Structure 1
């Protein structure tokens, strides 16, 4: 099934269309219910205006935030990488459908920005598609405040010992059990670290920090 979002992404003049729009312009059109009059969003509506509820408006704002991150990608790369997945029989859900699921599931425009950054990494072949899906799912599972702290905290492992409960079911962290007596027995040296459960970023969490950290 073809979806409007993937047709928009593959459009040759995508960069020109998305560059003509900023958040202020989008908010104004959303307020008036005229988002279909913005050329890049007109491709979604085919002459009909479906933006009638607050939920619709929030969805298209998330969509715009996602698409804006693809502004400086080439049409050749966007088409090549998305079609590569769509033609792969191992993936039953097309890229466009998957993107709609992911964007619809997230509850904050900032998450859409992060997902857009990751999709750009995929288009530029700096992130494989499977990991894009994994990272996006973890982002959607995490409160935006906790997510930003996780991404930018330079002392993340120390912080996780104090606030691990915020991340336990997100896929962002992993845990290990440390036994100080066992270490002392094996090494003959007294351990200064206490026995207990310790947390650190998982492989997925490490990738999210690497790709999205801004400082």
Structure 2
């Protein structure tokens, strides 16, 4: 297990309950220099790795990890350690979490990944489903996911959000209408229904 993957698993085994939900507003220097954050194994490791020339991508990678951890604050150390003791391959798990968090494109998405991870910890979904749903979250535009959450009880949905969800496989075609187009406005009127996959993402990621 590499240093970063190992430190991610080590972090899950420790108490990171002091991760502030206000951290996104903090400057990166504060995050890297604050003793509270550097005491978190994964942040301490990344601080060491990034200490010579930190990029914008590095900054947001750290913030995504902190967002993920802050969303796991309602899980106990005992529960996380019990889960990790039963997991068949912690090296693979640490690598997968790092890979997912590195690729997602929005600071709100780590919260959704954390929700999926908690469902996995609780045996509500299996590891393959966790990976599959995480990939869907990664590929979706965050505003489309919010639209899914807020319209889950609607029989029919339309518009750009519905089109985006269709491209991610979370809604199914109900009827087709090309809509109208002019130079200043385009409103697709094709109708979609939220399918079982969309309902599952809503149930487990939010």
Shorter chain as normaliser: what TM range?
0.7 to 0.9
Structure 1 CA distance for aligned equivalents of residues 143 and 160 of structure 2: 15
1:199 to 2:197 alignment: no
Structure 2 CA distance for aligned equivalents of residues 209 and 46 of structure 1: 32
- Give 3-state SS (helix, strand or coil) of 1:138's partner: helix
- Contact 1:67–1:116, Cα closer than 8 Å, also in 2: yes
- Contact 1:36–1:49, Cα closer than 8 Å, also in 2: no
- Contact 2:21–2:70, Cα closer than 8 Å, also in 1: no
Cα shift readout 1:131-180 (whole Å, capped 9, x = no counterpart)? 211111111111111110011214444114775421233132234789xx
What RMSD in Å do the two structures reach over aligned CA positions? 3.1
After TM superposition, the score normalised by the length of structure 2 is: 0.74
Structure 2 CA distance for aligned equivalents of residues 24 and 198 of structure 1: 40
Of 6, 10, 13, 2:13 maps to 10
Structure 1 CA distance for aligned equivalents of residues 43 and 88 of structure 2: 20
2:48 maps to what in 1?
Answer: 48
- Contact 1:142–1:170, Cα closer than 8 Å, also in 2: yes
Closer/same/farther in 2, CA of residues 34 and 49 from structure 1, 3 Å limit: farther
- Give 3-state SS (helix, strand or coil) of 2:62's partner: helix
After TM superposition, the score normalised by the length of structure 1 is: 0.72
Count of residue correspondences: 186
1:183 maps to what in 2?
Answer: none
Cα shift readout 1:76-104 (whole Å, capped 9, x = no counterpart)? 3323333434349xxxx711111111111
User: Structure 1 regions of 5+ residues with no counterpart?
Assistant: 179-196
Of 118, 121, 141, 1:120 maps to 118
Structure 2 CA distance for aligned equivalents of residues 131 and 35 of structure 1: 37
Give the greater-gyration-radius structure (CA).
1
1:22 maps to what in 2?
Answer: 20
- Contact 1:134–1:204, Cα closer than 8 Å, also in 2: no
Structure 1 CA distance for aligned equivalents of residues 159 and 136 of structure 2: 20
Cα shift readout 1:25-81 (whole Å, capped 9, x = no counterpart)? 564351446257421156642872516122111111111111111112122332333
Structure 1 CA distance for aligned equivalents of residues 74 and 31 of structure 2: 28
- Give 3-state SS (helix, strand or coil) of 1:94's partner: helix
2:187 maps to what in 1?
Answer: none
Structure 1 CA distance for aligned equivalents of residues 60 and 98 of structure 2: 13
1:159 maps to what in 2?
Answer: 157
